[in-house]
């Protein structure tokens, strides 16, 4: 886990918050205090100055009311004398102006040239006209000091006789304010240092248990639930520590339960014969069991995190969103030209109560055998219908002809009746073969096995065909000169040989040879019947043992076959524990092989 920097530490944050709160409080208090103090000092300065000006105005008023003779000093001289006594450190200049705006005197010895001149100062004119005191504050552009200027009227019996114009420096007031600000800043700094130390100590009491809980959380993430958080007190943080320890215990129990359920689910998924695939909300595979891997013939590494529609080969037809909306069973056809392979995919959406889709569950079933059986059933029904319809149609045609009067014709009637008899026998053979196959398919069917010396038995079967075969077809026998005992159902094996030999005779050309061979191998005998007929195409070779399958349908039906002979032969051989197959080359002939186990008769 990434280490927390010092500036991101909650320990530092607590101390900083504590310091900032104190700093803000001090700033608010300081700003209010300084502002009020400054206003008070400025007000006191104005009041003190105005009181002196009022006293000065009284003295000047007395001088203006005094009667003067030639020997008495002039008003300007008296005013100058009075102003010299009025000068102080804060007052820069005091001027006395009469009601005609003429300057009667000034306290500034360097500005005596203005005496006797008229002033144009608006503040003075306003005072003389209005008879009220006027004041203003400004900054001296030369010194940069803040100056206070006031104009006080001089009244004699409620008549405005002039005004006193005072220019005073307020720098001493603001110098005092700067000293007070420095004292306040120093006090604030000392308070912040003390506050920082207290904040660090206070933060430790909070961050210590939180740090311990952090270590506990890391241990829990690694699967260690044995560690406990130390409880430092029973305040809110102590209660949190107790709750954290209780949570650890509950999580340990929940993990044990979850792990048990996970193992059960994993065992169920592993031993399921059906394939199970789970995806996330984006359609990526997050879980797949071994059965699904075998069904799809893929590896776990290649499909984990891969899109489900791609793995199932549906990316051209569906997106994940449309696949979720489908919510039905899909048939996946992975068949090739050589082999049929069909799967059924059952879809189930993982959805919350509010409708939010979390993923998709796909259950795969291999239905190849079911489809093959269904296909074979449809083909079987179609073939039986076709095989029965052909003779029945023929019989109906001939019987209608006979009913229409053909029975009176001595030449046509016997031929029509013969055809009806042949078609009837053909249907009887077909029905008998179907019944035979039905018995062989039955689980309750049992063979009547006896011990048979196979070589003499095979000779008898061949001899029977030797009497009825065409004169231009020859038989060749290749048998070992030894006694071979086979435990078998003699009637059923006879039926197998009859079907195989009958086919060989049907398809043998003029002057052809049929070769019969018996070979004794380890624990079995291998019987083969070889003809020199037209042969069977390679594409049809594996299908000749299927029911109603004919390579040349027209020729086979013309020769009277039902298309069930080799199918019956296959079922009988398999029931005896052997196997049957064919080898053929076009225009070179066909060889039918089957094996039978050599075994002794078992008791019971």
135: CB partners within 8 A, 6+ apart = 46, 123, 148, 149, 150, 151
Report the DSSP pairing between strands 474-478 and 513-520.
parallel
List the strands of the sheet with 159-169, edge to edge: 103-106, 91-98, 159-169, 146-156, 134-139
Contact 561, 543 (CB under 8 A): no
Task: Answer left, alpha or beta for residue 523, where phi above 0 means left and psi between -120 and 50 means alpha.
Answer: left
Contact 292, 364 (CB under 8 A): yes
Q: Extract the tokens encoding 15.
A: 């101390």
- CA gap 420, 400 in Å, rounded: 11
**Residue 73 has what DSSP assignment?**
P
Give the pLDDT confidence score for residue 327 in this predicted structure: 65
589 bridge partner residues: 585
Q: What three-state secondary structure class fits 596?
A: strand
- CA gap 326, 329 in Å, rounded: 8
Q: Extract the tokens encoding 99.
A: 């009601």
CA–CA distances in Å: residue 136 to residues 121, 124, 150, 165, 168: 12, 12, 6, 11, 11
Contact 368, 342 (CB under 8 A): yes
Rg, the chain, Cα only: 63
Q: Extract the tokens encoding 573.
A: 């051989």
Q: What domains can you pick out in the chain, each with its CATH number?
A: 11-176 (3.30.450.20), 272-445 (3.30.450.20), 446-597 (3.30.565.10)
Give the pLDDT confidence score for residue 558 in this predicted structure: 46
State which H helix or E strand residue 495 sits in.
helix 490-507
- CA gap 348, 532 in Å, rounded: 59
Give the pLDDT confidence score for residue 502 in this predicted structure: 86
CA–CA distances in Å: residue 181 to residues 19, 26, 90, 187: 20, 12, 22, 10
Count Cα atoms within 13 angstroms, Cβ side, for 517. Answer: 13
Give the pLDDT confidence score for residue 554 in this predicted structure: 43
Q: What three-state secondary structure class fits 231?
A: coil
Q: Extract the tokens encoding 584.
A: 């053929």
- CA gap 483, 451 in Å, rounded: 12
- CA gap 311, 362 in Å, rounded: 12
Point out the residues of the chain with pLDDT beneath 70.
1-11, 68-70, 87, 327, 353, 355, 376, 379-388, 390, 426, 429-430, 433-445, 470-471, 547-563, 599-604
Give the pLDDT confidence score for residue 104 in this predicted structure: 84
Q: What is the 3-state secondary structure (H, E, C) of 4-72?
A: CCCCCCHHHHHHHHHHHHHHHHHHHHHHHHHHHHHHHHHHHHHHHHHHHHHHHHHHHHHHHHCCCCCCC
- CA gap 405, 333 in Å, rounded: 58
| pLDDT tens track for 555-599 | 444 444 556 778 888 888 888 889 999 998 877 889 999 999 986
Contact 579, 573 (CB under 8 A): yes
Give the pLDDT confidence score for residue 563 in this predicted structure: 64
Give the pLDDT confidence score for residue 386 in this predicted structure: 62
């Amino acid at each position: 886990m990434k280490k927390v920097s010092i500036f991101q530490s909650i320990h530092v944050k607590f101390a900083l918050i504590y310091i900032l709160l104190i700093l803000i409080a001090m700033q608010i208090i300081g700003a209010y205090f300084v502002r009020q103090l400054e206003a008070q000092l400025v007000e006191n300065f104005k009041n003190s100055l105005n009181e002196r000006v009022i006293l000065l105005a009284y003295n000047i008023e007395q001088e203006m009311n005094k009667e003067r003779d030639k020997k008495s000093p002039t008003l300007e001289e008296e005013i100058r004398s009075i102003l010299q006594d009025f000068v102080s450190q804060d007052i820069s200049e005091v001027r006395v102006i009469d009601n005609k705006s003429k300057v009667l005197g000034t306290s500034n010895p360097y500005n005596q040239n203005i005496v006797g001149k008229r002033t144009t100062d608006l503040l003075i004119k306003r005072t003389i006209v209005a008879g009220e005191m006027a004041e203003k504050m400004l900054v001296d552009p030369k010194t940069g000091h803040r100056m206070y200027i006031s104009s006080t009227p001089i009244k004699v019996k409620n008549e405005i006789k002039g005004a006193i114009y005072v220019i005073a420096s307020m720098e001493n007031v603001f110098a005092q304010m700067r000293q007070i600000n420095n004292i306040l800043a120093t006090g604030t700094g000392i308070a912040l240092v003390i506050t920082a130390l207290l904040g660090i100590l206070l933060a430790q009491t909070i961050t210590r248990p939180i740090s311990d809980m952090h270590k506990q959380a890391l241990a829990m993430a690694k699967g260690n639930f044995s560690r406990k958080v130390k409880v430092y007190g029973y305040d809110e943080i102590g209660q949190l520590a107790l709750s954290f320890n209780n949570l650890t215990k509950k999580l340990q129990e929940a993990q044990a339960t979850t792990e048990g359920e996970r193992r059960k689910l994993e065992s169920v998924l592993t031993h399921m014969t059906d394939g199970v695939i789970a995806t996330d909300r984006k359609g990526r595979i997050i879980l797949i069991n071994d059965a699904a891997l075998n069904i799809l013939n893929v590896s776990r590494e290649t499909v984990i995190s891969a899109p489900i529609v791609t793995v199932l080969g549906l990316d051209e037809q569906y997106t994940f969103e449309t696949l979720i909306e489908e919510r039905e069973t899909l048939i996946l056809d992975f068949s090739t030209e050589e082999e049929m392979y069909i799967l059924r995919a059952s879809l189930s959406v993982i959805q919350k109560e509010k409708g939010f889709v979390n993923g998709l569950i796909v259950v795969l079933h291999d239905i190849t055998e079911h489809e093959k059986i269904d296909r074979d059933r449809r083909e079987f029904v179609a073939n039986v219908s076709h095989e029965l319809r052909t003779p029945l149609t023929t019989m109906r045609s001939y019987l209608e002809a006979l009913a229409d009067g053909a029975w009176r014709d001595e030449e046509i009637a016997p031929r029509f009746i013969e055809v009806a008899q042949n078609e009837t026998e053909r249907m009887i053979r077909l029905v008998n073969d179907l019944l035979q196959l039905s018995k062989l398919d039955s689980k309750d069917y049992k063979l009547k096995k006896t011990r048979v010396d196979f070589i003499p038995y095979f000779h008898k079967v061949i001899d029977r065909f030797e009497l009825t075969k065409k004169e231009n077809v020859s038989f060749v026998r290749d048998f070992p000169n030894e006694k071979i005992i086979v435990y078998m159902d003699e009637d059923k094996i006879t039926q197998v040989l009859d079907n195989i030999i009958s086919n060989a005779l049907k398809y043998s050309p003029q002057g052809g040879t049929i070769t019969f061979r018996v070979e004794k191998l380890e624990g079995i005998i291998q019987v083969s019947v070889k003809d020199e007929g037209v042969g069977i195409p390679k594409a049809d070779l594996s299908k000749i043992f299927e029911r109603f399958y004919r390579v040349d349908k027209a020729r086979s039906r013309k020769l009277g076959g039902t298309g069930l002979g080799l199918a019956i032969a296959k079922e009988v051989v398999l029931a005896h524990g052997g196997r049957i197959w064919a080898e053929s080359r076009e225009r070179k002939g066909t060889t039918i092989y089957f094996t039978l186990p050599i075994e002794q008769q078992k008791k019971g």
